Amino acid sequence: MTRNWAGTYEYRAPALVAARTEDDVRRAVTSTSGRVRALGTRHSFSDLPDTDGTLIDLAGLEGGFRLDADGTVRVAAGTRYGVLALWLEERGRALHNLGSLPHISVAGATATGTHGSGDANGVLTTAVRGIRYLDAGGDIRSVSPADADFPALAVGLGAYGIVLSLDLATEPSYRMRQDVYTGVSWDAALGALPEVTGAGYSVSVFTRWEPGTVGYVWVKTRLDADTDPVPDGLLDGVRDADAEPLAGLADITELRGVPGAWMHRLPHFRLDGEPSFGDEIQSEYFVARDRAPDALRAVLALGELIRPVLFVSELRTARADELWLSPAHGQDVLAIHFTWRNDPAAVGQVLPMIESALEPFDARPHWGKHHGLDRAAIERVHPRLADARAVYERLDPAGRFGNAHLGRVGVREPR
């Protein structure tokens, strides 16, 4: 069959169909009575996209760009964000944010609530202004923010149909620079966390949970002019032109304060390079930002157990939204991300400890990454889960777009 991008999950679906057109998708859905699921750029780390029926590979369903007079762009579901960003920049337009990897598909990232970073920036899905999808009968449906079902469908996990294209809000192009600060202590950071996460337009903290200093604070500053100054210090840390927050990885975007276009600075990795470490497992949890310092202290206490299994952790933020299954639904959030070594047994030992430590803070898992939370646990932290599930059951009563994973976490009823 096929594996996810990192090679750490093997899809078990008995059939795989590569779609390059919307008609290909329709034929794949209507030619079988079994379950069907969409497969994007394979950046999930669990069985979320998998099925006991047919996987429809949407990686070839790309392009289809249309830029409207109001600045809204239509893009085919399988298009990678980096490809869309290049097309928009050529026309003087930009997105409000990008994920750390520009290799991810537009439909996959928005369906799972994936995000860039920034105290004032919503997850990538908050840019969605329209969804075109194929239902179980092979008919194309459209939904916009004016429709009652939109808050359920925007972060929809493929639970109600196969997304064909999306309309996204854009804005005028802008420029940015990236600087790295080192020497920020945990004491200073946890005592003034908003000063850290608010130090730029988009901020990521890379840490290995060592006592003393947090590691690297990677600040992405939006510029009015390339000559705009940035501070030399951050709390008790300093700007370090030689710092490498992801040492050993060659394909990161340019640092050291060099100004550049938004799409070359917002992601951590270059579109023309290899993303992240490769042979890895990822997990991520979201906590309300006003409770984040205590949540970080709880994880920091597990540092000695975490470090042997960990490549690196990343801390980043997102603004509250009203999308029912968004990790930021109803609250500003801090994301606590773990990039693990490919050691499932070791990860399986430490992850329950982390989840237990974060339980008092109502941590929400990233839908597309590895976690151990079940329906009851997720229902406790996602107050609109039952409402979203009711929408999916109404739109797809036969459960054709469900799977074992969605049943396990409560997004669909088990079948």
CATH code, domain with 353: 3.30.70.2520
Q: Indicate if 182 and 300 belong to the same structural domain.
A: yes
Q: Beta-strand (E) ranges in 83-227?
A: 93-94, 128-134, 140-143, 162-168, 171-172, 175-182, 202-207, 216-223
Residue 411 lies in a domain: no
Residue 274 lies in a domain: yes
Question: pLDDT for 38-60, tens place per residue?
Answer: 998 877 878 899 999 999 999 99
Question: pLDDT for 316-352, tens place per residue?
Answer: 999 999 999 999 999 999 999 999 999 999 999 999 9
Q: Indicate if 39 and 89 belong to the same structural domain.
A: no
Mean pLDDT for the stretch of residues 397-401: 97
Q: Indicate if 26 and 71 belong to the same structural domain.
A: no
pLDDT of residue 276: 64
pTM over 0.85: yes
Q: Indicate if 98 and 156 belong to the same structural domain.
A: yes
Residue 386 lies in a domain: no
Instruction: Using DSSP, state whether 123 is helix, strand or coil.
Output: coil
Q: Indicate if 300 and 367 belong to the same structural domain.
A: yes
Mean pLDDT for the stretch of residues 168-177: 98
Residue 396 lies in a domain: no
Residue 392 lies in a domain: no
Task: State the average pLDDT for the chain.
Answer: 95
Res 121 pLDDT > 60: yes
**Pick from 137, 172, 207: which residue ends a domain?**
172
pLDDT of residue 32: 87
Mean pLDDT for the stretch of residues 91-112: 94
pLDDT of residue 1: 56
Res 258 pLDDT > 90: yes
pLDDT of residue 42: 79
Q: Indicate if 131 and 193 belong to the same structural domain.
A: no
Query: Among the listed ranges 18-27, 169-178, 276-285, which one has the minimum average pLDDT value?
Result: 276-285
Range of the domain at 42: 15-57
Q: Indicate if 207 and 135 belong to the same structural domain.
A: no
CA 131 – CA 166 distance, rounded (Å):
5
CA 292 – CA 335 distance, rounded (Å):
9
Res 356 pLDDT > 80: yes
Q: Indicate if 187 and 74 belong to the same structural domain.
A: no
Q: Indicate if 29 and 135 belong to the same structural domain.
A: no
CATH code at 112?
3.30.465.10
Q: Indicate if 201 and 317 belong to the same structural domain.
A: yes
